[in-house]
Amino acid sequence: MRLASRFFLAAAAVLVVAYVAAWILLGLDARGGAVGSAALGGILLMLWPTARLVARRVEAEVGRARGVVDRIAAGDLDPSVSPTGSDSVSSLGRAIARMADQVRDRVAVSERASTDLRVLFDGLEDGLAFIDGDGLVSLCNPAFERWAGRQVSPGVRIGTLFRTPRIAEAVRVAQRGEHDTAEVALGEHTVLMSARPHRSGALIVLRDLTVMRRLEGVRRDFVANVSHELKTPLTSVVGFAEALAEGGLAPDHGRDFAQRILANATRMRLLVEDLLDLSLLESGSWSPQPEAVSIGTVASEVWETLSPKVRSSEIQLSVSGTRDPAHVDPDAIRQILRNLLDNAARYSEDDPAIAVRIRSEGRFQRVEVTDRGSGIASVHVERVFERFYRIDPARSRARGGTGLGLAIVKHFVEAHGGEVGIESALGRGTTIWFTLPVATQLPGEETVDGPA
């Protein structure tokens, strides 16, 4: 009722002022003043119910508007605002409706941005965590939890998550306003840990460097192996060439030196050719151009092209199995068989017999190249397809191998969608097998793995 009282007092004040002004201007006498006062009192009595009615209506309209504002403040961003009532209250309702629409739009934009950031945060492969000024985790992503090996709830102390104290030390450095970076070992992984200041705490980033460091090691080993493989024959070439340049050698010695130079130069040429082939295959620049090819026929042809030094007259090759054509790249299958037959011939001193067996298995042909040599110990079997891996390096180099033949075979076979494997045991010989498709694969048809 306070609103009604205020409305009534305001109206009464206006009437009193008007009455006094009229009294003065019209010069009313005492009788007229009494009549006027009575009339004024009557008007005021009549105004009181009107004031109460108007006040109640205004209070109701303002109350509804206040309720809408309260719902907006409580999070209801889709309130029902009825712009009715007096002009002022109606304008207030429309203003509240516009405000609700703007707040709703801004909240929607903020929620979308928050969702996007959360998806980005959770999808990062690097582990991220925010650490507060007390060294407690306030927020982290799933990748960080994987590095910690557990679910990390807010409030966990960073020093209890990892065995290495280097991460907690980096957090303390970041809390002092400095940036700290170091490589740490987490299990079998090498991780680049970075800590930088964030508010009063720190932001920790954990990045896996294991694959990168492994590739760097492979690259170093590769360069070292290539350098060693080239240095040995190159040293021989230079030494024999210097002896020839100095002159004074007997004809037989000169011929022998020239043959040695030729053998070492040939070895370097083969190594370079194998390196180029391997580089082409590993880069993905080469793709097979399949044709219908009889693998048995190609095996017999390749055997005749091997060096007489490798293909001793005592070694016998047998080819058996299906003569149905496979769908392979002709140059690739020739190089595959040349490398496998060359290897088999080099290690068939004890029992000079090599067998090539071909059989159909579904949509693939399985080809086996078997020798009866000394065999391979189980510790070496899984690694023979690695570049430059040799069971007996000195013996392999003496026989002229580059150490890349089986790696090239593996890449050629896998490029056709086939598989390659080895079965061997000491004293029982070695069988290297591979599978190749027998029919043209239709466009868009799913690749079928070769049989084991």
Q: What is the CATH number of the domain that holds 385?
A: 3.30.565.10
In a domain, 296, yes or no: yes
In a domain, 294, yes or no: yes
State which of 161, 188, 208 marks the end of a domain.
208
Helices (H), 324-404: 330-346, 378-381, 393-398
What is the rounded distance in angstroms from the CA atom of residue 32 to the CA atom of residue 106? 67
- Ranges under pLDDT 50 in the chain: 1, 3-4, 28, 30-31, 33, 35, 441-452
What is the rounded distance in angstroms from the CA atom of residue 278 to the CA atom of residue 223? 14
Residues 157 and 258 in one domain: no
Residue 148 CB: number of other CB atoms within 10 A?
Answer: 20
The C-alpha angle 49, 52, 54, rounded to 5 degrees, equals 110
Which pLDDT does position 451 carry in this prediction?
36
Residues 347 and 432 in one domain: yes
Q: What is the CATH number of the domain that holds 233?
A: 1.10.287.130
**DSSP 8-state class, residue 162:** -
Q: Which is nearest to 23 in space by CA: 41, 38, 36, 12?
A: 36
Edge-to-edge order in the sheet of strand 127-131: 137-140, 127-131, 201-208, 189-198, 180-186
In a domain, 448, yes or no: no
The C-alpha angle 350, 351, 355, rounded to 5 degrees, equals 140
Distances in whole angstroms, Cα of residue 33 to Cα of each of 9, 14, 15, 27: 21, 17, 14, 9
Entry pTM: 0.53
In a domain, 33, yes or no: yes
Residues 331 and 424 in one domain: yes
The region, left, alpha or beta by phi > 0 then psi within -120 to 50, assigned to residue 105 is alpha
Q: Which is nearest to 401 in space by CA: 410, 414, 392?
A: 392
**DSSP 8-state class, residue 443:** T
The amino acid present at 441, given as its one-letter code, is Q
State which of 208, 223, 244 marks the end of a domain.
208
What is the rounded distance in angstroms from the CA atom of residue 412 to the CA atom of residue 340? 12
Q: Which is nearest to 288 in space by CA: 335, 233, 328, 339?
A: 328
In a domain, 188, yes or no: yes
Which pLDDT does position 312 carry in this prediction?
60
Token reading at 391: 């069971």
In a domain, 344, yes or no: yes
**Please, which residues have CB within 8 angstroms of residue 297's CB and are 6 or more apart in sequence?**
323
Residues 292 and 432 in one domain: yes
What is the rounded distance in angstroms from the CA atom of residue 210 to the CA atom of residue 195? 19
Residues 261 and 219 in one domain: yes
- Map 315-345 to HEC letters: CEEEEEECCCCEEECHHHHHHHHHHHHHHHH
What is the rounded distance in angstroms from the CA atom of residue 182 to the CA atom of residue 168? 12
Q: Which is nearest to 255 in space by CA: 266, 267, 240?
A: 240
Residues 301 and 320 in one domain: yes
> CB of 352 within 8 A of CB of 315?
yes
Distances in whole angstroms, Cα of residue 189 to Cα of each of 168, 194, 212, 233: 18, 16, 11, 39
Which pLDDT does position 298 carry in this prediction?
92
**Helices 330-346 and 295-305, axial angle in degrees (round to 10):** 60
Residues 200 and 224 in one domain: no
> CB of 326 within 8 A of CB of 437?
yes
For residue 222, give its domain range: 212-279
State which of 208, 229, 251 marks the end of a domain.
208
**Please, which residues have CB within 8 angstroms of residue 406's CB and are 6 or more apart in sequence?**
339, 343, 384, 385, 432
Question: CA 188, 189, 194, 200 torsion: positive or negative?
Answer: negative
In a domain, 240, yes or no: yes
Residues 294 and 431 in one domain: yes
**Longest pairwise C-alpha distance within the chain:** 165
Domain count, the chain: 4
DSSP string across 183-250: EEEETTEEEEEEEEEETTEEEEEEEE-HHHHHHHHHHHHHHHHHHHHHHHHHHHHHHHHHHHHH----
Residues 316 and 268 in one domain: no
Which pLDDT does position 31 carry in this prediction?
47
The C-alpha angle 350, 354, 357, rounded to 5 degrees, equals 150
Residues 133 and 203 in one domain: yes
> CB of 374 within 8 A of CB of 427?
yes
Residues 158 and 229 in one domain: no
What is the rounded distance in angstroms from the CA atom of residue 295 to the CA atom of residue 309? 24
Residue 407 CB: number of other CB atoms within 10 A?
Answer: 22
Which pLDDT does position 359 carry in this prediction?
92
pLDDT tens, 67-116? 777 777 776 666 555 555 556 667 777 777 777 778 778 878 888 887 88
Rounded (10°) CA dihedral 66, 69, 75, 79: 90
In a domain, 133, yes or no: yes
Residues 381 and 412 in one domain: yes
